[in-house]
Structure 1
Amino acid sequence: MKSKLARLNPPQILLLVFVSLILTGAGLLKLPVATTNGITFLDALFTATSAMTVTGLIVVDTGSAFSTFGEVIIMLLIQLGGLGIMTFAVLIFIMMGKKIGLKERLLVKQALNQNAIGDVVLLVKRLLIFSLSVEAIAVILLSFVWGPEMGWKDGIYASVFHAISAFNNAGFSIWENSLSDYVIHPMVNVTISVLFIIGGIGFTVVFDSWHSREFLHLRLHTKIMLIGTIVINIFSVIVLMILEFNNPATIGDLSNFGKVQASYFQAVTPRTAGFNTLDIAQMEHASLFYIITLMFVGGGSTSTAGGIKLTTALIIILATIAFLKNREHVVVFRRRIGFHLVMRALALTIMSLSVVITTVFLLNLTEKEAPFLNILFESVSAFGTVGLSMGLTGELSVLGKIIIIITMLVGKLGPLTFAFAFAHPSTDIIKYPKEEVLTG
């Protein structure tokens, strides 16, 4: 068995570990002690996959269907999936005094989407300390809101659950209507949103910003992520506020300050957080389509977020601009983007679109009564590991649940990871003559 594992490449091992932990989690959630009235194994598997992939889509209500034991299992799966299995594996290796070898470093590199293997162990140490510290601070802040409201024991528990879920961009809530009761509560809105923005922007960005206080000294990746995140978040708040301003089912009846709060939260949460303070199904169709776009793009690399990642989308846009201006290279902040990165971004985008299109096509076959917009929304939400829902997930057929389970898994690990896991290494060293092909 050990020799077989040794022959597996990092993407294959990562996929194997992920699936194994999902099955283990499903087994634990199927136990009578984990639920209030019992659930099917498929629903347990769906919940475990959604937690492990930090998606947040649910087929049973988390707060009413699961006991405290079941909710703790979900929290552990979220933490494992969000911060990365290999992150905790490296921590255990360090605590046991074992050396982190090349294969382990390659696994961490793959899991954290790093380009180099030299500093991955240091990144893991910082990541764990930083993540647990941020979650602890959030628990304290949220406890001051929910402690007096529901009793300190239940309030602290709710704070722990939502802090872990928010920082890891999972979107799981122990309340049926998510955070809708706190749509105009500044402390809850700010604390939860800051958690998933920090978790979704990428740990390398956070650490680089901490050590390099001046913008000019930041890495190119950090500059792109910071500027891109600020611009897209501000633009999204304005767009959703304009689209929903007079919608009485969402923000139409709120005060002006309430409209700003609700628009802000619903604008930043599609970047794979999954929480909602508004009824998603009641939003305008234009708003829903815009949210679909945000969910597909997602957050940052080396983060708890999903999607194709903001840098991928920006590289595609910059490459298009460079082509239209007849430039040979893609240049941003006086730095040239390598051709291989443009090709990687293009490949990732095309493969991601293929996954979404396939999911939408299959769900249209299995969920014949569902509106097309609901199917498209749920498919992108599953792939982007967002967790926002228009209500279709809870009504999925058996085949529909299986399709979404696979989509969530592919979305979390990434289409390229799956491609590398099953692809055979190329041995073709022949170079063929070049010839032009007409396009456009």
Structure 2
Amino acid sequence: MRIISFSIKSLSPAQFLALGYIIVITVGALLLSLPIATVNGEGLDLINSIFTATSATAVTGLIVVNTGTYFTIFGQSVILLLIQIGGLGFMTTSTLFALILGKKINLKKRIIIQEDLNYFNLSGLIRLVQYVTILTLGIELMGAVLLFAHLLPEYPAGKAAFFSIFHAVSAFCNAGFDIFGNSLANFTNDIYINLVITTLFIIGGIGFAVIADVYRKRQFIDYSLNTKLVLVITLILIILGTSVIFILEFSNPATLKGLSFKGKLLAAYFQGVTPRTAGFNTIPTGQLRNASLFFITILMFIGASPGSTGGGLKTTTIGALLAVVYNLVKGNEDIELFKRRLSQGIIYKALAVAIISLAWIALVITILTITEEAEFLSILFETVSAYGTVGLSTGITGDLSQIGRIIISLTMFLGRVGPLTLAAAIGERAKRGQIRYPEEKLLIG
């Protein structure tokens, strides 16, 4: 018993965080494998239960079975709970329970919370956990009420309530799970559902720190650099995503062509913003043109913002890398954004996250092209969707081999906890270096 206790205490914050998510996924997989979890009374097999639990905890949304028809209320409730834990963050959830039980939060746990929420400093972390929890539950409740008011005429009250809660939580947590059976394809022209769902996952995807900053300061000029960059990049991606999808799919008979102009604009908007790691769709993803699929792949890779319920490389990472290119072209020695200078540590971290992400995606694609029979673009799309915790698919998820499902499960897990924790670990090690070697020039380009 002492050995186990010592080994757990000796774990680094990043390792403890990863272990926490592994435990949550394991428990979720065991619950989904129970006969009570599935309609057929047999439960999910091991690989598929791990895949589904990972997808829910990583708030991804990739599925190998239809969530709405394959699972019972119990199974769907397990998935809903996993989504909520994944959206809030493992340490936020566990800290909340600790506070309820009256337990103290020591320094090491605060460091882990800081890493899980991608927060700047240790001060005010417990207040932040309380704020994040209240904000999350409050927005989800508001979303559920709005959805309930719209779904009630079409469904019995109990079913409408459960559907509303499930999709409000799934949307705010950027999970992409649905129990309608075909995502939101029945609501392509429904402006009410489109706006409620997109508002939920856009708010969930900009980050809790950004929401707090906007609430407290109100004026753009007073916002922190992080908030300014998140809002600007987010707005650019929303406009760009909507415009490009509208242009590329306007004449596609399988997607936008048969819709009215309002329907085309609404569907293009939804499909343009859902790659922010939301994972819902109102038009068939597999019927999109190759150019659209590749463009969406880029959006999925960028993803949401740090400290949010979404995944991906993150808007601030892309913003920092673009700032490097812009300042290099202008001949500036310092990397400047909004009249602020970025430290070398931030640039190194952005580069590390980008390189690690690209390396893992390249490795997974290489393996899947060997193990799977799908087209290369579909494999690329699926891999980036998994790593960015998006959940969009061209339809190959259910046809993946056992090896493919294991690899995609691992990719979803790494996408949820990997890039940030690895980059943080690299940064911590870099600070310990005491030797500074002579400088020498290197040819670039």
> TM-score under structure 1 normalisation?
0.97
Distance 1:130 1:422 in 2: 32
Aligned residue runs from structure 1 range 31-430, under 5 A: 31-37=34-40, 38=42, 39-367=44-372, 369-418=373-422, 425=429, 428-430=433-435
1:439 aligns with 2:444: yes
Please tell me whether residue 7 in structure 1 is matched to residue 1 in structure 2.
no
Residue 23 (1) aligns with residue 18 (2):
no
Q: Deviations over 1:295-346 (max 9, x none)?
A: 0000101000100100100110110111111111111111111111011101
**Counterparts in 2 of 1:246 and 1:63: CA distance versus 1, 3 Å:** same
| Offset, 1:428 | 4.7
How much does 1:168 deviate? Answer: 0.2
Partners of 1:410 and 1:418 within 8 A in 2: no
* Deviation readout 1:72-95 (Å, 9 max, x if unpaired): 000000000111111112112222
Compare 95-104 and 2-11 and name the one that shifted more: 95-104
Residues 338-370 of structure 1 show CA distances to partners (whole Å, capped at 9, x for unaligned) of 111011101100110011111101101110x21
For the Cα contact (< 8 Å) 2:300–2:384, is it kept in 1?
yes
Which is worse superposed, 10-19 or 36-45? 36-45
The DSSP-based 3-state class of the residue aligned with 1:331 is strand
Contact 1:208 1:222 in 2 (8 A): yes
Cα RMSD (Å): 1.4
Q: For residues 420 and 204 of structure 1, what CA distance do their matches in structure 2 show? A: 19
Aligned partner of 1:29: which letter?
L
The Cα shift of 1:420 comes to: 6.0
Aligned residues: 439
Q: Which blocks of at least 5 consecutive residues in structure 2 are unaligned?
A: none
> Residue 161 of structure 2: SS of its match in structure 1?
helix
1:24–1:418: structure 2 CA closer, same or farther, 3 Å change rule? farther
Q: CA deviation at 1:431?
A: 2.1
1:49-71 deviation per Cα after TM superposition (whole angstroms, max 9, x unaligned):
00000000001111111110000
Whole-angstrom CA distance in 1 between matches of 2:148 and 2:436: 63
Shift of 1:119: 1.9
Return 98-107 or 397-406, whichever deviates more.
98-107
On the 8 A contact 1:200/1:300 being kept in 2, the answer is yes
- Displacement, 1:407? 0.3
Alpha-carbon distance in structure 2 between the residues aligned to 1:99 and 1:47? 34
For the 8 Å contact 1:12–1:421, the answer to whether it is kept is: no
- SS for the counterpart of 2:154 is helix
Q: Which amino acid aligns with 2:329?
A: L
Name stretches of at least 5 consecutive residues in structure 1 with no aligned partner: none
Q: Normalising by the residue count of structure 2, what TM-score does the alignment of the two structures yield?
A: 0.96
Separation of aligned partners in 2, 1:112 and 1:86 = 8
